[in-house]
Amino acid sequence: MKALFVYNPESGSGKIEKHKEYILKKLSTKYEVEIKKTTHAGEAGELAQSSVGVYDYLFVAGGDGTLNEVVNGLKEAVNKPIVGYIPCGTVNDVAHSLGLPRDIKKAVKILVDGQPFSHDIFKVNDRYGIYVCCTGLFTSSSYDTARKSKKKFGKIAYFAHGVRDVFSAKPVNVKITEGGNTWSLPASLLLIINSRSTAGFMLNRHAVLNDGYVELLAFYSHENKIKMSDILRCARAFLGGLSWTKHNKKVVYLKAKEFTLEIDKGAIINLDGEKSGEGSFNFRVIPRGIDILLSPKMRKKLENNAKKY
């Protein structure tokens, strides 16, 4: 079986480079492996696109942003390779959601012995994502926080940037249209999620990741200025989880597969932790759009989630 291994040398303070020989040795016991090191933004996506129909497996090492590039490279192509993921970013929400370890040896073991899990992806205008799309409070932290700060301070750098964001944030006017229904509101935060983990918090522990739906949360704000009560409501969501949040009267909650959103011009869209345009957008779920290798135990757990919820 042919496999392409793509890695971002910047992620994880260069730990993939340090363990490259070990990784290749282990992968070579099962696969015919070619390795590529990314040298510029977007290259992981370019390599992913060129892998379609050529490789059986595409292994990627990096953060959530690198994985997002891969999703955008594969898009909705047929005959896509099965993806294996070694997480080595700062937050690694997708890895937390899927039970993928940051330990190199454990992660490589899953690439060799794991089983594919079919995971939904989604399309936002002309871009693709796998776990989150959002705008409003705190959502600029993942792409505005300086790379040096992220390397040195990790999650603390995101938090510090988010605190500064609170004092200058304004509500985003949101109009949601889905299935003939419309909701309009000033929102402190808009979250569209298909993940168990978001921003490092286990926001939706029982998420079903392959049912063809995402969950949308729009948090009401005071009209002209985000106040402390609005901030606390958002914070309570991350601490209390989705089961509490979706029943709050100040939160619009939807489970949907296709909808449109009209938001303020200039409101930045965060897609899988990356800055991805601004303004209004159309949203569509692509059911089971990517196959990702997981441990047999985690794959079974996620499949059981689908049966229970």
Residues serving a catalytic function are: 274
Q: What stretch of H or E contains 187?
A: strand 181-193
- Angstrom distance (rounded) from CA 306 to CA 309: 6
Q: Nearest-CA neighbor of 163 among 183, 196, 137?
A: 137
Q: How many CA atoms lie within 13 A of 208 on its CB side?
A: 15
Residues in the chain: 309
Q: Which residues of 57-75 are buried (b: 16+ CB within 10 A; e: fewer)?
A: bbbbbbbbbbbbbbbbbbb
Contact (CB, 8 A) for 175 and 184: yes
Helix and strand tally (H, E) in the chain?
A: 12, 15
- Angstrom distance (rounded) from CA 253 to CA 241: 13
Contact (CB, 8 A) for 103 and 243: no
- Cα-Cα-Cα-Cα dihedral sign, residues 146, 151, 154, 156: negative
Tokens representing 231 are 């901030």
Residue 209 phi/psi, 5° resolution?
-95, 0
- Angstrom distance (rounded) from CA 82 to CA 2: 11
- Angstrom distance (rounded) from CA 226 to CA 156: 23
Contacts of 92 (CB under 8 A, 6+ apart): 63, 64, 100, 102
Between strands 32-37 and 2-7, the pairing is parallel
Find residue 218's DSSP bridge partners: 190, 252
